Every structure is written in structure tokens, then in C-alpha cells.
Amino acid sequence: MGKTTGFLEYERVEGPVRSEEDRVRDFYEFHEGLKEKDRRQQAARCMDCGVPFCQNGSMISGMMSGCPLHNAVPEINDLVYRGRMAEAYRRLSMTHSFPEFTGRVCPALCEAACTCGLHDEPVSTRANEKDVIEYAFEHGLAIEEKPAVRTGKKVAVIGSGPAGLAAAQLLNRRGHEVTVYERHDRAGGLLRYGIPNMKLDKRVIDRRLSLMEEAGVQFVTGCNVGTDVKASKLKKEYDAVVLACGASNPRDIAAPGRDARGIRFAVDFLSEVTKRLLDSDHKDVPYELAKDKDVIVIGGGDTGNDCVGTVIRLGAKSVVQLEMMPEPPKVRAASNPWPEWPRILKTDYGQEEAIWKFGHDPRVYKTTVKEFIKDKKGNIKEVVTVSLKAEKDAKTGRMNMVPVEGSEKKLFAGLVLIAAGFLGSEKYVTDDFSVETDNRSNVKTDCGSHRASSDKVFTAGDMHLGQSLVVRAIAEGRSCAKEVDEYLMGYSNL
């Protein structure tokens, strides 16, 4: 695939990125695409490697390796290399619902498993896929056709994140009447309010939603299923229900002083910022949320990084990002061989911007909060941190991170953002639908199935898997759609 000797002739080249000094002044996307010549050269680096792990999409050592959508990566890169972008789009759209989302926010599992990356830099597959879908939109190729025949079956999809949208897309294509319910004021779920605009411009979401509406998918926003409308009503009106509400129950920090004002869950904070920007067409930038404040971000993952980038744009005085785990190595350890996901140190855009602005990496490893300290008015003013060390549990044999006695430190804090992950689905939804949950509060199903314990009810995405990636949620939505279709029709051609 591609040029036979391309991987020997060309080095990996990333698309241009706006400088930190420029991009922190606004909330617009800052990654740009490659020119056609450069893009074709990058696609030429894709090897005829025989066993393309990039499209494998399976769990290895508890981590996803390769694309869970099983995109035919070598074929797509070959078409990009040959300049056949329309065909590349048609091949990509056979397996992928929304390349415009993953082309911006996916950690590129395909690239981590790229054979070329075993001894060199991997093929820039994510950027190529983004260029393919943008080409398709620019040239009127990205359409959602109305089904020629309707089946007479009705499906309700609860949640309009990536899993819900993917399920709705395929079920509508099949001819079922699909209605998507979203509790927020706009559709998009995590894509809309959990990911900042500079990482995923919300116009990209609106563009796709418009196509889906034109094809017949109905969206009901501002409707909180489980409270505003009950499960019993939906199960009477619809032939099947898909629960795709996400793992939206945030993990809290149970430390003294937690009731101080100025301590917020990260997604709530990011949602408020995005909503203010959308409501005002980016004219109302909520600087008052972080301006001139010392900000503590608890959590070292993607959401924590998004918080760092956001508060810098809002004029934070300082930013510290606390991470419980040790700092990862800069290169793969022998115990983490290719094609496993590389557990190595990565510096994302928020950390890059913090280094530019404050002169140092904001991350502090093996550290957590021991106590929140309030001022006389009840506002957060300081946090007491404590160092952690790995220690084996005598009963279970597991390694746990435990506090180091005498390692306490105080940090100034005017705003604390908790980005410590999620515990699973929200109880009021699962209770209302009378579905069984597992010990992580995810909706319980048989292995390899999306069917819940309650009649007519299916589940997909983070509500099924637990907190995961956008690309896995899309794959879940597509797989769930096929199972729902088989349930409704007795067979499926999805």
C-alpha cells in the first residue's frame, strides 16, 4: 500500500500548529492540515506491512491496540497517496461514522500500533483521515441519504454523544424512525460540552447534526430522560431504546474542606465555558472564572489537560496539575512492547501552553490533595497536598499509591478543578429503566452483547464500557445499532 519505499524516503511531518502565544488568545482550533503534496508524501509512508496492526482494534494487556472501528488504514492511505480523495472518503465511511471528530480528538490508537512506528515514527493516519473527511465536506461528498423505505419501527436513543449519534445514524439509514433525546440545550453530549472548542470546534458537530436531521433523525434537546420523561412512556412509544448516556458520574475527592466554594468538577467547568462561548458567538469569554487565580487541577488525563488549556485562556495566575501516578518513562519500557499502547510521557497542548506561559511543566506526579483550606468567607484559599508512594497490599497483592508521612505541602488555590475520572452511569437513569448494573455501575449485558436486562433496552458507549475514548464510543454505537436492527427485523444488513 502507498509507495513501496515511501517509509524509507520520507520523514514524518506534522501539520502546522499555531504558536502558544497566538492560540491562547482565543478558543478556536489551532491544528491546521497539510498541503496536498505533503499529505500525499505522508500517506506514502504507509508500508505494505503484511499484518496491519493499525486496524486490529483489540485489547492487549488490558489496553486497546489499533483502531476499534477496524478502519482499513493501508487502503485509505494508499488512496490518499494516489490523490484519489473521493475514493478514500468512500472507503473510510464504510467503517467510520464521524472521522471529523476522531481526526481532532482521538489519541490515534492506529498510529500507536503502526508497524512503521516500531523502529521509526508512525504514519500520520489521524491527520490523513481528518483531511479526507474535510475534503468530503468541501466537495459535497459527505451526505446522509434518506432511506428509500421506512420499516415502521421506532427507536429512541438516550444521549447524543458519539455512541448515541453513531447508533442513531446507522439505525436511521436502515429505515427505522429514530429520535435522540439529550438533556442539555444542544446535542453533542461529551463532544459538545466535555471537550473544549479549541480541540473540537462546535461548528464541526453542528455540520454533522444538520446532515442527520435532513436525513430524518429527530433531536429532542433539554429533555432529561428519567425525570422529564419516564422510561415507561418511552418503552410504550418505541420498539427499542438505546441507553447511551455516558459515564457522567464524576469521581469526587473526599478530603476535609471539600465544601469550600471554588471547588468544581472539571466537566461542569468546561461545560459552562463552552456554553457561554456558544451563546454569545465567542463574544462573552468568562474570564472571571479563572482570571488572576491560582488554579489547581486534580487529575492528569485528557480532561485535566483540557482544564489547563482553558484556564490559561481565561487568564489564570498559575496552574498546577496533580497526578497520583508516577511520571511515565520517555521511551517504552521492556514490559510495554509494541504494538501495546505506549505508556510513555506525553506533553499535550495544555501542558505546552503552561510551559510557554509559566516556564515549567504544570504536572506534579505522585501527589494528591489531603485537605482543602477555606478562608473566613468559605472560599477555597489553599490546598494541602501529600506525596504518594507505591506499596503492595498484603491481602490482594496489588500495588496501591499510599501517602508518605510528613510530605505535606501547601499550595495557594483560588480555583480547584476535579478531573479525577468518572464512576459510571447515573443511578436515576438506570433505576428508571430497571436495568442491572455491574460493580462499576455500568449497564450490565452479556459478553459481546449490548442488550440490557430490561425488555427493549440496549446500551452503548461509556454507559456500557465505562469511561473510554470517543473512537471506542463510536464503535460501540455502530455495533449496538446492528444488534438493535437484528432485534427489530430478525436480521441485519448493517
Which letter does DSSP use for residue 321 in this model?
A: E
Burial class (CB in 10 A: 0-12, 13-18, 19+), 361: middle
Q: Which DSSP letter does residue 290 get?
A: T
CATH superfamily ID and name for 154-248+423-489: FAD/NAD(P)-binding domain (3.50.50.60)
Burial code of 145-184, b = ≥16 C-beta within 10 A, e = fewer?
Answer: eeeeeebebbbbbbbbbbbbbbbbbbbbbbbbbbbbbbbb
For residue 195, the number of C-alpha atoms closer than 13 Å in the C-beta half-sphere is 24
- CA–CA distance, 266 with 189 (Å, rounded to integer): 15
DSSP reduced 3-state for 489? helix
Q: Which ranges of 281-396 does DSSP label H, i.e. alpha helix? A: 302-313, 349-358
| Start-to-end C-alpha separation, the chain | 27
* Secondary element (H or E) of residue 208: helix 202-214
Does pTM top 0.85 for this prediction?
Answer: yes
CA dist 153 and 167 (Å) reads: 15
Dihedral-angle region of residue 276 (phi above 0 means left; psi in -120 to 50 means alpha; beta otherwise): alpha
Question: Nine-digit cell at 103?
Answer: 481526526
CB 151 within 8 A of CB 175: yes
263-418 sits in which CATH class?
alpha beta
Q: What is the CATH number of domain 6-138?
A: 1.10.1060.10
Cα(404)–Cα(398) distance, integer angstroms: 18
What does the CA dihedral 335, 341, 343, 346 come to, rounded to 10 degrees? 150
Compute the distance between CA of residue 345 and CA of residue 300 in angstroms, rounded to an integer. 11
Cα–chain-centroid distance for residue 268?
Answer: 16
Q: What is the DSSP string of 120-140?
A: SPPP-HHHHHHHHHHHHHHTT
**Three-state secondary structure call for residue 177:** strand
Angstrom distance (rounded) from CA 288 to CA 166: 37
- Nine-digit cell string for 86: 473521493
Per-residue pLDDT of the chain (494 residues; tens, 9 = 90+): 668 899 999 999 988 999 999 999 999 999 998 899 999 999 999 987 888 999 999 999 999 999 999 999 999 999 999 999 999 999 999 999 999 999 999 999 999 999 999 889 999 999 999 999 999 999 999 999 899 999 999 999 999 999 999 999 999 999 999 999 999 999 999 999 999 999 999 999 999 999 999 999 999 999 999 999 999 999 999 999 999 999 989 999 999 999 999 999 999 999 999 999 999 999 999 999 999 999 999 999 999 999 999 999 999 999 999 999 999 999 999 999 999 999 999 999 999 999 999 999 999 999 999 999 999 999 999 999 999 999 988 888 888 999 999 999 999 999 999 999 998 899 999 999 999 999 999 999 999 999 999 999 999 999 999 999 999 999 999 999 999 999 999 999 99
Residue-range domain boundaries for the chain: 6-138, 154-248+423-489, 263-418
- In this structure, what C-alpha cell is assigned to residue 67? 483502531
In whole angstroms, give the CA distance from residue 419 to residue 436. Answer: 27
- Comparing 6-138 with 263-418, is the CATH topology the same? no
Phi, psi of 428 (to 5 degrees): -65, -30
- For residue 181, the cross-strand partners are 158, 220
Report the chain's C-alpha Rg in angstroms.
23
C-alpha cell belonging to residue 282:
465567542
Beta carbons within 10 angstroms of residue 422's beta carbon: 20
